[in-house]
Each structure stands twice: as structure tokens, then as C-alpha cells.
Amino acid sequence: MKNYTKKSLKASNGITLIALVITIIVLLILAGISIAMLAGDNGILTKATDAKTYTERANVIEQAQTDILGYQAENKSGDLEKSQLKSVLDTYFRDVPDLTDMEKTAILNIELKTLEKYGNHTIKVSEIYDGAFKESPTYPVYTLGQEITIGEEKFFVITENDDSSKDTITAISKYNLSKTEVNKQHDISFWDEAHEVFCSDPDSTSSGYWNSIEEINYPYNLNNIQSNRAIAINKAKSYGESKGGIGRLLTYEEANNLKDKIETIIFGTYSSTGSLDYYLGTAHDYQNVFHVFYDDTFGGQVDDYVYFGYGQSAIRPVITILKTNI
């Protein structure tokens, strides 16, 4: 009986050891399979990463395409301007090149890196847009000081660094306005024909250049004030409207910036009949406005002594107008 028991125990111990080895082997195999399923090329973790990448790329493409649809709706043609596409791409990508002079095929083949906040993905432009491009309108280019004609009257361009993408130009009238004819230049600066004389009480609302405004800092641009006192400003505005543009007076800052670049245009020349003595659209203080004048004693000057109640100068409008109206 004792011998049987020992043999049974030995047999039992032997089976347990084999089972343990087999179990370990099976667990190792299962662990290997699990690791492969998690981290392999087709593993769960890899697929999760791929899914995240796909989703981020798809979101960027979808958002960019939505922005493009907005521009296409504005254009009413279904086409897209190159500048509009660049604006969209700049929102989502880094280092977007200038598309202006590039052919369509070259544009569509550009590969761009998304901004870091969008996941640093590489996306081809053709994945976002592969339609036609609407040509951006181009306009004539004018140079500083160039003489142009609007209607039947002459102006000098005061826009600096003009380019073909700009649809407006700013110019100053060649002559002062006539006192006797509404919205017309007077081709010679005769004192009695072009100069406006405001001799009323400064507190009156019937005439004068402008009325003092409390709590403002000087110099002060008067071009945007709304007042029946702003006679010179209002006449310049009316003149601009009559030419199909927006009228105002030259500001003190503009006069000082331009006086050395286009000196003769800003100051004119002096003769016995008068000069281009004219108001600026900037107040020096509560009772003085800047003006420009030229005489044989001082030459060209930007001065501030014109008193709005009693001062005497002419009106020389500045006009901003569409180039298509020139």
C-alpha cells in the first residue's frame, strides 16, 4: 500500500511539472501574439495612430475646402482667385509660396506641411482644390507726381508705391478751387478768384473754417468732422463727390511727407498773380489751421498761422477715386 502511494505521488508530481512548462509556453505564445496585435504593422496601436492621422488630415482638408466654398460663393462663378487660395492655405499650412505667377499644374503639385496645431501633416494642394482659377483683376499703375485727368480737370497722383492690384488712386487737384464756380478748379491762383475769406465772428455758425472741439489733442485731422462750420472741408468733399470719388483736404502729415518728394507740386510757384496758398485739413490748435503757401520771400512753407475766423487761403481738394473712373 505504501509503495503504491509513493508511485502515485511521483506520477502526480511529474504531470504537474509538464503542465507548468506547457502553460508557460502557451502564455509566451499568447503574449507574443498579443504584442504583435498591439504594436505590429497591423496592430491595434498602429491602426489607432493611423486613424488619428487620417482624421486630422481629413479635418484640415475639409476645413480648407469649406473656406474655399465661401470664396467661390463670393465670386459667383465657382472659380477661385490665386490670392484667395493662398489666404486659405496660409490659415492651415506653413511656408506657403506666392502663387501669383505660378501655373495651375505647379500649384496643385505643391506639398505643404500643416501648422503644428493641425498635426504636422503633409498634404498636397490638389487634395484640397483642383478647380479653375479666376484671374485677379489688374489695374493701371501710377507713379508719385504723375499728372492725370478726371473729367476735364487735372490732378497729381500722391499715392506712393502703387501697384496693379490696387483699384483706387489718391490725387491732389492741380489748382485751387474757384470761388465763383461750383466744384471747378481755377487754373491760376489769382488771389481774388481762388482764395476764400472767412471774416465772421469765430463763435458764429454761419462761416469760418471750423469750430473748436473740446478735449481733443492737436494737431487734429478735421477731414472727418461733421459741421456746417467746416466750410473748406465740406467744399472739398462736395468736389470729390462731383468727380465720382471721395474728397477731402491734404493733411499736415501728408504735406510734410510729400513736400521734398514732389516739391513743385505741393508748393507750386510764385508769380505776381498769386500762388498755391491753400488750407490743409489739420488744425494746429483751437483757432489755427495749417496751410501751404509759396512766395518770393520764404519759398515753399507749411505753416500754421491761418486763423479760422479771419484767415484767408484757398481750397485745394484731394480725391480718392476708382482707377476705372480716370
Overall average pLDDT of the 48-62 stretch: 81
Domain ranges of the chain: 44-134, 147-325
3-state DSSP assignment of residue 37: helix
Residue 199 pLDDT > 60, yes or no? no
**At residue 298, does pLDDT exceed 90?**
no
Which band of pLDDT confidence, cut at 50, 70 and 90, is reported for residue 320? very high
Contact (Cβ atoms closer than 8 angstroms) between residue 165 and residue 139: yes
Give the pLDDT mean for 83-94.
94
Q: Average the pLDDT over 93-106 and give the result.
A: 91
pLDDT at site 292: 87
Mean pLDDT to the nearest integer, 72-84: 85
Rounded mean pLDDT of 6-29? 66
User: Helix, strand, coil % (nearest 5) of the chain?
Assistant: 40, 20, 40
| pLDDT category of residue 206 using cuts at 50, 70 and 90 | very low
pLDDT at 215 over 70: no
Residue 189 confidence (pLDDT): 57
Give the tens place of pLDDT for each residue, 145-194. 999 999 999 999 999 999 988 999 999 999 989 888 889 988 765 556 66
Confidence of residue 5 (pLDDT cuts 50, 70, 90): low
- Torsion sign over Cα 222, 207, 255, 176: positive
What is the pLDDT confidence band of residue 119, given thresholds at 50, 70 and 90? confident
Cα angle 217, 234, 273; round to 5: 100
| Confidence at residue 326, expressed as pLDDT on a 0 to 100 scale | 92
Tens digit of each residue's pLDDT (9 = 90 or more) over 216-239: 788 889 898 877 667 788 899 999
**What would the 3-class secondary structure string for 115-149 be?**
CHHHCCCEEEHHHHCCCCEECCCCCCCCCCCCEEE
Q: At CA 153, angle to CA 149 and CA 155, rounded to 5?
A: 60
Return the C-alpha cell found at 11: 506520477
The answer to whether the pTM exceeds 0.85 is no
Instruction: Return the percentage of the chain with pLDDT > 90, whole number.
Output: 37
